Amino acid sequence: HDALSHHLVYTFITILLVARALPKSPVQLLASDPANMLEERLPLEIFLTILRLSVGSTQPVTDLVTLQLVCRSWHDIIAGASFLWATINTAEGFRACSKALQVAKNSLLELTCGEGMNKKDRNEFSRLANERADQWKSLVIDVDQWEVLLTTLRTYRPPKLEKLHMASWDYKNSSEDEIILLGGDPAAGLKDFKLNRVVIQLASLQLAGLEALHLQGLPQVSAIEIITIITESPSLKVLFLSQVGGGTMPSQAAAGQSSLVSHSPIRLPFLINLSLIDLPSPFFNLLVSILIVPQLCCLDINCRLEEQPPAEFFAAGLVHLHPTLNSITSNCHKYEVSLSSWGSYDIRVAQHVPS
C-alpha cells in the first residue's frame, strides 16, 4: 500500500512539474520539437530524476514502457537513459527482464529475483545477470529458486554490491547446510543486509559499516555474532531482529546484580527504526539495557517474560531507553501495548520517520 501511494505521488509530481514547465497544450506539445521541448523549460537532469522516482520496484519495465507512451520525446529520453532500466524484477517475466538488462548497458543493477519465470528462463536470465556481476548494486534473491545466482554469490564478491537480501522457505537448521558467501571474502561495501531463514556463515563476511540489518528466523545465529556486527556498524539506521540470538551471552552478570546481562553500552546515533521480535529473554534483556538510540522514531518490541517479572523488565530493563521512549511518545502517531494470554508483550511506538 505504501509503495503504491509513493508511486502515485511521484507520478503526480511528474505530470504536475512537466505541465507547469511546458505551457503548451497537449496537441502543441506532441507537435513541438523533441530536442528543445524539455531543455527550454526543465533541466534534463531534473526530469530524469522525476522519471526515476516515478518508476516502482515491482514492475519497473512496465512503468517505463507506459511513460514512453506519453509522447515521442519522452520515449526517446527514456530509451536513452540506461540507468532508468537498471531496476529489474523477475516478476515481470524473462522478456521484460532481458530487455531491461540489455538497455541498462553499464549501469549499476538493482535485481529482485523471486517469482515470475520457469526454470529454463531462470537459468538463462541467471547466465545473463552473472555476466554483469561487476555491475550488481542490489540483489534481492529467493535462494530456493535461483540456484545459479546463488552459486555465483558463493564464489565471487560483486565489487559494487551494497544491498543483499536473501530469503528461503525451505528452512534448514544445520551447520552442514551453512552457506559460505563471496568465496569467504569480507563483504566490504555492503550497507543493507537481510537474511530470512537462510543459514549463512556470518563470521567470514566480517560485516561492518552497515546501515540496515535484518535477521529473521535464524536461532542458530548467536548473540555474540549479532552484538559484534552492531558494534562494528555505528551508522545503523534500521535494526530488525526476530527469532535470533540464542546460545551464550557475551558476558554474564556479576554476582548480586539483576538478571540482566552486563555489557558496555552501544551507541547508535543514527538508528531510527528498531524491531526486537520473539528474542530469547537473556538476549532481549541485554539489547534493551545497552542500546543508546537518541534519534529513534519507531520501536517494535515483542517478547516473552518467562524468566523475569514484568515489574523488573519495565523498571530496570527499559530504564536505559526511558529518554528515547519519552521523546518518541511525545509526538507519536502509533502507540500500542498488549499482553497475550501466553505472556507475550507486544509494544509498538512510532513517529513519522524523517526523510
DSSP labels, 8-32: HHHHHHHHHHHHHH--S-HHHHHHS
- Residue 351 CA, distance from chain mean position: 19
Q: Residue 15, SS3?
A: helix
Which among 141-145, 199-203, 235-239, 301-305 has the top mean pLDDT?
235-239
pLDDT at 138 over 70: yes
Return the percentage of the chain with pLDDT > 90, whole number. Answer: 42
pTM of the model: 0.80
Q: Which residue has the higher pLDDT, 210 or 6?
A: 210
**Phi, psi angles (nearest 5°) of residue 74:** -60, -40
Contact indicator for 177, 200 with CB cutoff of 8 Å: no
Q: What is the pLDDT of residues 219-228, one digit of tens each?
A: 889 999 999 9
Output the CA–CA distances (angstroms, integers) from residue 219 to 6, 157, 205, 228, in the order listed: 35, 26, 19, 16
Region 195-224: mean pLDDT is: 92
Give pLDDT, residue 313.
59
CA angle 117, 120, 121 (to 5 degrees): 40
Read off the pLDDT of residues 145-190 as tens digits, 9 standing for 90 and up. Answer: 898 899 999 999 999 999 999 999 875 555 566 889 998 899 989 9
Q: What is the mean pLDDT of residues 93-122?
A: 94
Q: Per-residue pLDDT averaged across 2-10, rounded?
A: 52
> Would you state the cell numbers that stand for residue 351, as one nine-digit string?
513517529
